[in-house]
């Protein structure tokens, strides 16, 4: 899960409250202010009286050129490393990310933070926002919470829809109300995921539940934050999953509840440029895939020839991480 920290120095209670209400994951405050933060919220603090202490469990590293990369990478193995620089553009983040260094660069705008999260298509895991205006900080936090990255979606043509009988399916209730066109990427293969639409639509029998994605069978994969995949059956309350809209924009969501129940299932096969892919979902009107443009398609009315949005990748996965290898899943 990616984290957005906020630097607040000098002390400004209004800025602290803005950061807390905006969903910041941690604060860097002046020494001696850690207890004041603790009285407002339970959140990690970087300070001499905080959870991360400079010089002990954290390091504030000012980097100016590539010769310091090895030292930074080594420090990041055992400490929280915050990178400061007068000219953010010269921070060699690409090299540090390639060296697997876990660093948190200080960034001074939404644009710089978004760039840091996207470098080398991997990005840093954490950023430290240094924005001293409450309105600008609120806007940056809101923007970063909404969109963390993007996925390339393609159109697949449905070739078969077939009833399978009973099986265990996973329903994921998140702590986010999704919009039409949003859902989760789910599939029987980690390299071919279907955009399963959230339950945003009205139904004669069931009220909309925009926080829910009735995702698929227990064995299926879903994409989570950081580009990894997990089995649906592994998810539990407090985990982070990745939401995706029909344009490929992604954002994280917290899992509030996961329900695994026995339900009738459907196999849906599709094809992209001669490549066959498939997924298994519950056989019910409220479960929907996503058509180009974001229109939800109920699985009980999908027919061969219909087009749905999918996300494809080459290679395979090892414990959820993408690896370059030849793998066949049928």
Residue 318, domain CATH: 2.170.16
Instruction: Please check the confidence at residue 151 and state whether its pLDDT lies above 60.
Output: yes
- Do both 88 and 171 map to the same domain? no
- Do both 170 and 303 map to the same domain? yes
| Angle (nearest 5°) at CA 177 between 155 and 161 | 35
**Alpha-carbon distance 241 to 212, whole Å?**
12
The last residue of one of the domains, among 102, 122, 146, is 146
What's CA 288's distance to the chain center, in Å? 21
- Do both 140 and 51 map to the same domain? yes
- Do both 132 and 172 map to the same domain? no
Read off the pLDDT of residues 189-228 as tens digits, 9 standing for 90 and up: 988 999 999 999 988 878 899 999 999 999 999 998 767 8
The last residue of one of the domains, among 93, 118, 146, is 146
Q: Let me know if residue 318 belongs to a domain.
A: yes
Single pTM value for the model: 0.69
Instruction: Please check the confidence at residue 65 and state whether its pLDDT lies above 80.
Output: no
Secondary structure letter of residue 204 according to DSSP: S
CATH number at residue 116: 3.20.20.70
Q: Let me know if residue 277 belongs to a domain.
A: yes
Specify the pLDDT at position 142.
Answer: 85
**Alpha-carbon distance 317 to 278, whole Å?**
17
Query: Mean pLDDT of all residues in the chain?
Result: 88
Confidence band for 326, pLDDT divided at 50, 70 and 90: very low
**Alpha-carbon distance 50 to 59, whole Å?**
13
Strands 26-29 and 45-46: what pairing? parallel
Specify the pLDDT at position 303.
Answer: 96
Strands 80-84 and 58-62: what pairing? parallel
Give the residue with greater pLDDT, 329 vs 284: 284
- Do both 274 and 253 map to the same domain? yes
Give the residue with greater pLDDT, 322 vs 301: 301
- Do both 105 and 201 map to the same domain? no
The last residue of one of the domains, among 121, 146, 171, is 146
Residue with tokens 């749905």: 308
Copy the structure tokens of residue 188. Answer: 């029987």
- Do both 131 and 231 map to the same domain? no
**Alpha-carbon distance 315 to 329, whole Å?**
11
Q: Let me know if residue 89 belongs to a domain.
A: yes
Q: Let me know if residue 249 belongs to a domain.
A: yes
Report the number of distinct structural domains present in the chain: 2
Instruction: Please check the confidence at residue 122 and state whether its pLDDT lies above 80.
Output: no
- Phi and psi at residue 46, in whole multiples of 5°? -100, 110
Residue 245: Cβ within 10 Å count: 23
Q: Let me know if residue 328 belongs to a domain.
A: no
Q: Let me know if residue 134 belongs to a domain.
A: yes
Alpha helices in the chain (DSSP H): 13-21, 34-38, 69-75, 93-98, 110-118, 134-146
Tally the C-alpha atoms within 13 A of residue 108's C-alpha that lie toward its C-beta: 7
**Cα dihedral 58, 61, 66, 71 sign:** negative
**Alpha-carbon distance 53 to 263, whole Å?**
51
Read off the pLDDT of residues 3-27 as tens digits, 9 standing for 90 and up: 899 999 999 999 999 999 998 999 9
| Residue 289 lies in domain | 154-323
Q: Let me know if residue 309 belongs to a domain.
A: yes
**Distance in Å from the first CA to the final CA of the chain:** 30
Burial 1-22 (b: 16+ CB within 10 A, else e): ebebbbbbeeeeeebbebbeeb
Secondary structure letter of residue 315 according to DSSP: S
SS3 content of the chain, % helix, strand, coil (to 5): 20, 40, 40
Confidence band for 318, pLDDT divided at 50, 70 and 90: very low
Q: Let me know if residue 120 belongs to a domain.
A: yes
């Amino acid at each position: 899960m990616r984290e957005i920290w906020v630097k607040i120095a000098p002390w400004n209670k209004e800025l602290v409250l803005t950061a807390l209400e905006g969903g910041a994951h941690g604060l860097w405050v002046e020494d001696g202010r850690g207890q004041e933060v603790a009285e407002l919220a339970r959140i990690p603090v970087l300070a001499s009286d905080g959870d991360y202490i400079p010089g002990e469990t954290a390091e504030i590293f000012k980097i100016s050129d590539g010769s310091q990369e090895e030292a930074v990478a080594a420090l990041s193995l055992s400490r929280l490393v915050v990178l400061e620089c007068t000219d953010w553009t010269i921070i060699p983040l690409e090299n540090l990310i390639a060296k697997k260094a876990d660093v948190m660069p200080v960034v001074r705008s939404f644009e710089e933070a978004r760039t840091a999260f996207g470098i080398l298509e991997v990005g840093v895991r954490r950023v430290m926002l240094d924005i001293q205006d409450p309105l600008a900080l609120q806007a940056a936090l809101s923007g970063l919470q909404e969109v963390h990255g993007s996925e390339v979606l393609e159109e697949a043509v449905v070739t078969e829809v077939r009833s399978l009988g009973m099986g265990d399916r996973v329903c994921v209730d998140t702590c986010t109300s999704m919009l039409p066109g949003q859902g989760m990427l789910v599939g029987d293969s980690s390299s071919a995921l279907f955009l399963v639409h959230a339950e945003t639509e009205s139904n004669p029998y069931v009220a909309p539940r925009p926080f829910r994605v009735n995702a698929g069978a227990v064995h299926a994969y879903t994409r989570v934050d950081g580009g990894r995949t997990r089995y649906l059956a592994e998810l539990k309350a407090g985990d982070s999953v990745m939401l995706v809209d029909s344009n490929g924009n992604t954002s994280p969501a917290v899992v509030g509840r996961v329900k695994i129940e026995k339900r009738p299932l459907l196999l849906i096969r599709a094809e992209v440029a001669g490549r066959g892919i498939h997924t298994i979902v519950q056989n019910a009107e409220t479960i929907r895939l996503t058509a180009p443009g974001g229109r939800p398609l109920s699985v009980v009315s999908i027919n061969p020839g219909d087009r749905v949005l999918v996300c494809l990748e080459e290679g395979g996965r090892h414990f959820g991480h993408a690896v370059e290898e030849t793998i066949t899943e049928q």
